[in-house]
Amino acid sequence: MPRTLTLTRTRLAALLAVAALALAGCGGGDGSGDGGSGAAAPGEIKVFAAASLTAAFTKLGERYSSANGGAKVTFNFAGSQALATQIQQAAPADVFASADVPNMDKVKDLVGTPRSFASNLLAIVVEQGNPKGVEGLDDLADPDLKVVLAAEEVPAGKYAKQILDQAGVSVTPVSQEDNVKAVVTKVSLGEADAGIVYVTDVTAGGDRVEGVDIPPDQNVTATYPIATVKASQAPEAAQAFVDLVRSAEGQQVLKEHGFLPPPTT
Protein backbone atom coordinates (compact mmCIF):
# COMPACT_ATOMS: atom_id res chain seq x y z
CA MET A 1 0.00 0.00 0.00
CA PRO A 2 2.62 2.67 0.90
CA ARG A 3 4.47 1.76 -2.26
CA THR A 4 1.51 2.40 -4.51
CA LEU A 5 0.92 5.65 -2.68
CA THR A 6 4.46 6.83 -3.40
CA LEU A 7 4.08 5.80 -7.00
CA THR A 8 0.87 7.76 -7.30
CA ARG A 9 2.51 10.78 -5.73
CA THR A 10 5.43 10.56 -8.11
CA ARG A 11 3.04 10.34 -10.99
CA LEU A 12 1.05 13.27 -9.72
CA ALA A 13 4.21 15.31 -9.36
CA ALA A 14 5.25 14.38 -12.89
CA LEU A 15 1.84 15.35 -14.17
CA LEU A 16 1.97 18.71 -12.42
CA ALA A 17 5.44 19.29 -13.79
CA VAL A 18 4.21 18.60 -17.30
CA ALA A 19 1.24 20.91 -16.78
CA ALA A 20 3.52 23.65 -15.45
CA LEU A 21 5.81 23.23 -18.43
CA ALA A 22 2.88 23.42 -20.80
CA LEU A 23 1.68 26.63 -19.14
CA ALA A 24 5.16 28.11 -19.23
CA GLY A 25 5.35 27.13 -22.88
CA CYS A 26 2.15 29.02 -23.60
CA GLY A 27 3.47 32.15 -21.92
CA GLY A 28 6.74 32.01 -23.79
CA GLY A 29 5.05 31.30 -27.08
CA ASP A 30 3.35 34.67 -27.09
CA GLY A 31 6.66 36.25 -27.83
CA SER A 32 6.76 38.79 -25.01
CA GLY A 33 9.92 37.27 -23.60
CA ASP A 34 10.05 39.45 -20.50
CA GLY A 35 9.38 37.18 -17.56
CA GLY A 36 6.06 35.63 -16.64
CA SER A 37 4.51 37.98 -14.13
CA GLY A 38 0.88 37.21 -13.39
CA ALA A 39 -0.48 40.76 -13.53
CA ALA A 40 -1.06 42.43 -16.86
CA ALA A 41 1.86 44.64 -17.75
CA PRO A 42 0.96 48.31 -18.10
CA GLY A 43 0.00 49.05 -21.66
CA GLU A 44 -0.97 45.48 -22.50
CA ILE A 45 -4.03 45.52 -24.73
CA LYS A 46 -6.34 43.30 -26.72
CA VAL A 47 -7.26 44.59 -30.15
CA PHE A 48 -10.28 43.13 -31.97
CA ALA A 49 -9.75 43.87 -35.65
CA ALA A 50 -11.40 42.97 -38.95
CA ALA A 51 -9.72 40.03 -40.69
CA SER A 52 -8.69 42.26 -43.61
CA LEU A 53 -6.49 44.25 -41.22
CA THR A 54 -4.41 41.20 -40.25
CA ALA A 55 -1.12 42.11 -41.92
CA ALA A 56 -1.25 45.88 -41.38
CA PHE A 57 -2.31 45.68 -37.73
CA THR A 58 0.23 42.98 -36.91
CA LYS A 59 2.86 45.42 -38.14
CA LEU A 60 1.31 48.27 -36.13
CA GLY A 61 1.24 46.01 -33.08
CA GLU A 62 5.00 45.57 -33.38
CA ARG A 63 5.46 49.33 -33.65
CA TYR A 64 3.25 49.87 -30.61
CA SER A 65 5.20 47.31 -28.58
CA SER A 66 8.59 48.76 -29.37
CA ALA A 67 7.37 52.29 -28.67
CA ASN A 68 5.93 51.26 -25.30
CA GLY A 69 8.71 49.22 -23.74
CA GLY A 70 7.57 45.88 -25.09
CA ALA A 71 3.94 46.27 -24.03
CA LYS A 72 2.01 43.34 -25.39
CA VAL A 73 -0.70 43.63 -28.01
CA THR A 74 -2.91 40.62 -28.52
CA PHE A 75 -4.98 40.58 -31.69
CA ASN A 76 -8.26 38.89 -32.35
CA PHE A 77 -8.70 38.94 -36.12
CA ALA A 78 -12.09 37.76 -37.42
CA GLY A 79 -15.08 38.93 -39.40
CA SER A 80 -16.22 42.28 -37.96
CA GLN A 81 -19.70 40.84 -37.36
CA ALA A 82 -18.20 38.12 -35.15
CA LEU A 83 -16.10 40.64 -33.24
CA ALA A 84 -19.09 42.94 -32.67
CA THR A 85 -21.03 40.01 -31.24
CA GLN A 86 -18.12 39.06 -29.01
CA ILE A 87 -17.93 42.63 -27.68
CA GLN A 88 -21.69 42.59 -27.07
CA GLN A 89 -21.13 39.42 -25.05
CA ALA A 90 -18.54 41.30 -22.96
CA ALA A 91 -15.41 39.79 -24.47
CA PRO A 92 -12.31 41.50 -22.98
CA ALA A 93 -11.50 43.89 -25.82
CA ASP A 94 -9.71 47.24 -25.46
CA VAL A 95 -9.90 48.41 -29.07
CA PHE A 96 -12.31 47.51 -31.88
CA ALA A 97 -11.51 48.14 -35.54
CA SER A 98 -14.35 47.24 -37.89
CA ALA A 99 -14.39 46.87 -41.66
CA ASP A 100 -17.72 48.65 -41.87
CA VAL A 101 -19.81 51.22 -40.04
CA PRO A 102 -22.90 49.05 -39.27
CA ASN A 103 -20.91 46.62 -37.12
CA MET A 104 -19.38 49.53 -35.20
CA ASP A 105 -22.90 50.92 -34.76
CA LYS A 106 -23.98 47.57 -33.35
CA VAL A 107 -21.74 48.18 -30.32
CA LYS A 108 -22.03 51.99 -30.17
CA ASP A 109 -23.13 51.97 -26.53
CA LEU A 110 -20.09 49.93 -25.54
CA VAL A 111 -17.36 51.91 -27.29
CA GLY A 112 -16.01 55.47 -27.38
CA THR A 113 -16.50 57.76 -30.36
CA PRO A 114 -15.54 55.83 -33.51
CA ARG A 115 -13.11 57.47 -35.93
CA SER A 116 -12.55 56.44 -39.54
CA PHE A 117 -8.92 55.53 -40.08
CA ALA A 118 -8.78 53.88 -43.50
CA SER A 119 -10.78 52.89 -46.50
CA ASN A 120 -10.51 50.07 -48.95
CA LEU A 121 -11.80 49.04 -52.34
CA LEU A 122 -12.85 45.63 -53.52
CA ALA A 123 -11.33 43.50 -56.23
CA ILE A 124 -11.86 40.13 -57.85
CA VAL A 125 -9.29 37.62 -56.63
CA VAL A 126 -8.24 34.82 -58.98
CA GLU A 127 -5.46 32.29 -59.08
CA GLN A 128 -2.03 33.44 -60.21
CA GLY A 129 -2.00 33.67 -63.99
CA ASN A 130 -5.80 34.05 -64.10
CA PRO A 131 -6.31 30.60 -65.70
CA LYS A 132 -10.04 31.14 -66.25
CA GLY A 133 -9.50 34.52 -67.93
CA VAL A 134 -11.75 36.50 -65.59
CA GLU A 135 -11.88 40.09 -66.81
CA GLY A 136 -14.67 41.65 -64.85
CA LEU A 137 -17.81 41.23 -62.80
CA ASP A 138 -19.84 39.90 -65.76
CA ASP A 139 -17.57 36.85 -65.99
CA LEU A 140 -18.52 35.84 -62.45
CA ALA A 141 -22.03 34.94 -63.61
CA ASP A 142 -20.64 31.98 -65.59
CA PRO A 143 -22.15 28.90 -63.91
CA ASP A 144 -18.99 26.90 -64.65
CA LEU A 145 -16.90 29.30 -62.63
CA LYS A 146 -16.61 28.42 -58.94
CA VAL A 147 -17.08 31.72 -57.12
CA VAL A 148 -16.61 32.06 -53.38
CA LEU A 149 -17.88 35.09 -51.50
CA ALA A 150 -17.85 36.10 -47.88
CA ALA A 151 -21.18 35.49 -46.15
CA GLU A 152 -23.58 38.43 -46.27
CA GLU A 153 -23.15 38.89 -42.51
CA VAL A 154 -19.47 39.64 -43.14
CA PRO A 155 -18.70 43.22 -44.28
CA ALA A 156 -16.78 41.99 -47.34
CA GLY A 157 -19.74 39.79 -48.27
CA LYS A 158 -22.15 42.68 -47.87
CA TYR A 159 -19.96 44.92 -50.07
CA ALA A 160 -19.64 42.16 -52.68
CA LYS A 161 -23.42 41.78 -52.80
CA GLN A 162 -23.78 45.57 -53.19
CA ILE A 163 -21.32 45.58 -56.06
CA LEU A 164 -22.96 42.65 -57.84
CA ASP A 165 -26.47 44.05 -57.32
CA GLN A 166 -25.43 47.45 -58.66
CA ALA A 167 -23.86 45.85 -61.71
CA GLY A 168 -26.91 43.65 -62.21
CA VAL A 169 -24.77 40.51 -62.18
CA SER A 170 -26.30 37.42 -60.63
CA VAL A 171 -23.73 35.12 -59.05
CA THR A 172 -24.37 31.79 -57.39
CA PRO A 173 -21.46 31.29 -55.02
CA VAL A 174 -20.32 27.77 -54.13
CA SER A 175 -19.58 28.87 -50.59
CA GLN A 176 -20.16 31.82 -48.28
CA GLU A 177 -17.11 32.04 -46.07
CA ASP A 178 -17.10 33.29 -42.52
CA ASN A 179 -14.43 35.93 -43.11
CA VAL A 180 -12.71 37.52 -46.06
CA LYS A 181 -9.37 35.74 -45.55
CA ALA A 182 -11.09 32.36 -45.99
CA VAL A 183 -12.20 33.53 -49.47
CA VAL A 184 -8.58 34.22 -50.45
CA THR A 185 -7.53 30.84 -49.02
CA LYS A 186 -10.09 28.93 -51.09
CA VAL A 187 -8.84 30.68 -54.25
CA SER A 188 -5.16 30.26 -53.43
CA LEU A 189 -5.71 26.53 -52.80
CA GLY A 190 -7.28 26.29 -56.24
CA GLU A 191 -10.61 25.09 -54.86
CA ALA A 192 -12.40 28.19 -56.09
CA ASP A 193 -11.81 30.08 -59.35
CA ALA A 194 -12.66 33.55 -58.16
CA GLY A 195 -13.85 35.58 -55.22
CA ILE A 196 -14.57 39.17 -54.28
CA VAL A 197 -12.31 40.51 -51.55
CA TYR A 198 -10.62 43.75 -50.54
CA VAL A 199 -7.80 45.06 -52.71
CA THR A 200 -5.56 44.67 -49.65
CA ASP A 201 -6.35 40.96 -49.36
CA VAL A 202 -5.08 40.39 -52.88
CA THR A 203 -1.79 42.02 -51.87
CA ALA A 204 -1.65 40.01 -48.64
CA GLY A 205 -2.53 36.80 -50.51
CA GLY A 206 0.98 36.56 -51.94
CA ASP A 207 2.19 34.85 -55.09
CA ARG A 208 -0.59 32.32 -55.43
CA VAL A 209 -3.28 34.85 -56.25
CA GLU A 210 -3.71 37.96 -58.31
CA GLY A 211 -6.35 40.64 -58.53
CA VAL A 212 -8.67 41.75 -61.28
CA ASP A 213 -9.69 45.38 -60.77
CA ILE A 214 -13.30 46.33 -60.38
CA PRO A 215 -13.72 49.69 -62.16
CA PRO A 216 -14.46 52.70 -59.91
CA ASP A 217 -17.99 53.16 -61.20
CA GLN A 218 -18.82 49.57 -60.16
CA ASN A 219 -16.81 49.54 -56.92
CA VAL A 220 -17.80 50.51 -53.40
CA THR A 221 -15.64 52.10 -50.73
CA ALA A 222 -15.31 50.27 -47.44
CA THR A 223 -14.79 52.63 -44.50
CA TYR A 224 -12.94 51.34 -41.45
CA PRO A 225 -13.84 52.88 -38.08
CA ILE A 226 -11.83 52.32 -34.89
CA ALA A 227 -12.84 52.96 -31.27
CA THR A 228 -11.74 52.19 -27.75
CA VAL A 229 -13.97 49.85 -25.76
CA LYS A 230 -15.52 51.48 -22.67
CA ALA A 231 -15.07 48.39 -20.48
CA SER A 232 -11.31 48.40 -21.14
CA GLN A 233 -9.06 47.89 -18.12
CA ALA A 234 -6.32 49.88 -19.88
CA PRO A 235 -8.07 52.89 -21.42
CA GLU A 236 -4.90 54.98 -21.83
CA ALA A 237 -3.09 52.19 -23.61
CA ALA A 238 -6.13 51.55 -25.79
CA GLN A 239 -6.26 55.23 -26.73
CA ALA A 240 -2.52 55.17 -27.44
CA PHE A 241 -3.03 52.35 -29.93
CA VAL A 242 -5.90 54.19 -31.62
CA ASP A 243 -3.72 57.32 -31.80
CA LEU A 244 -0.90 55.30 -33.36
CA VAL A 245 -3.24 53.92 -36.03
CA ARG A 246 -4.44 57.42 -36.89
CA SER A 247 -0.98 59.03 -36.75
CA ALA A 248 1.12 59.74 -39.82
CA GLU A 249 3.22 56.67 -38.97
CA GLY A 250 0.15 54.44 -38.71
CA GLN A 251 -1.31 55.80 -41.92
CA GLN A 252 1.99 55.08 -43.67
CA VAL A 253 1.89 51.43 -42.56
CA LEU A 254 -1.71 51.11 -43.73
CA LYS A 255 -0.79 52.68 -47.05
CA GLU A 256 2.07 50.21 -47.49
CA HIS A 257 -0.49 47.43 -47.13
CA GLY A 258 -2.70 48.92 -49.81
CA PHE A 259 -5.26 50.76 -47.70
CA LEU A 260 -6.54 54.16 -48.78
CA PRO A 261 -6.90 57.16 -46.47
CA PRO A 262 -10.23 57.49 -44.67
CA PRO A 263 -12.94 59.37 -46.56
CA THR A 264 -12.75 63.09 -45.87
CA THR A 265 -16.04 64.22 -44.47
Partner 1 sequence: MTTRSRAPRLFAVPAALAVAFLTVPLVGLLARTPWGSIGTELTSPRVLEALRLSLVCSLGAVAVSVVLGVPLAFLLARVAFPGRNLVRALTTLPMVLPPVVGGVALLLAFGRRGLVGQWLDRAFGITLPFTTAGAILAEAFVAMPFLVITVEAGLRAMDRRYEDAAATLGAGRWLTFRRVTLPLIGPSLFAGMALCWARALGEFGATITFAGNLPGVTQTMPLAVYIALETDLEAAIALSLVLLAISLVVLVALRDRWFPTA
User: Is 105 an interacting residue with respect to partner 1 (CB under 8 A)?
Assistant: no
Phi, psi of 139 (to 5 degrees): -65, -25
User: Is 223 an interacting residue with respect to partner 1 (CB under 8 A)?
Assistant: no
**Contact window for partner 1 (CB under 8 A) among 12-20, 111-119, 184-192, 196-204:** 184-192
DSSP string of 59-72, one letter each residue: HHHHHHHHHTTT--
Shortest distance (Å) from residue 86 CB to partner 1: 9
User: Is 181 an interacting residue with respect to partner 1 (CB under 8 A)?
Assistant: no
User: Distance from first CA to last CA of the chain, Å, rounded?
Assistant: 80
Sheet arrangement for strand 122-127: 175-177, 147-150, 194-198, 122-127, 209-213
User: Is 81 an interacting residue with respect to partner 1 (CB under 8 A)?
Assistant: yes
| Total chain residues near partner 1 (CB under 8 A) | 19
Pick the closer one to partner 1 by CB: 146 or 181.
146
Pick the closer one to partner 1 by CB: 105 or 153.
153
Binding residues among 146-165 for partner 1 as defined by CB under 8 A: 146, 148, 151, 153
User: Is 72 an interacting residue with respect to partner 1 (CB under 8 A)?
Assistant: no
Long-range CB contact pairs, 139-143, < 8 A, 24+: 139/194, 140/164, 140/169, 140/171, 140/194, 140/196, 141/169, 141/170, 141/171, 143/172
Query: What residues pair up with 264 in beta bridges, in sequence order?
Result: none
User: Is 189 an interacting residue with respect to partner 1 (CB under 8 A)?
Assistant: yes
User: Is 100 an interacting residue with respect to partner 1 (CB under 8 A)?
Assistant: no
Binding site for partner 1 (CB under 8 A): 79, 81-82, 85, 146, 148, 151, 153, 173-178, 186, 189-192
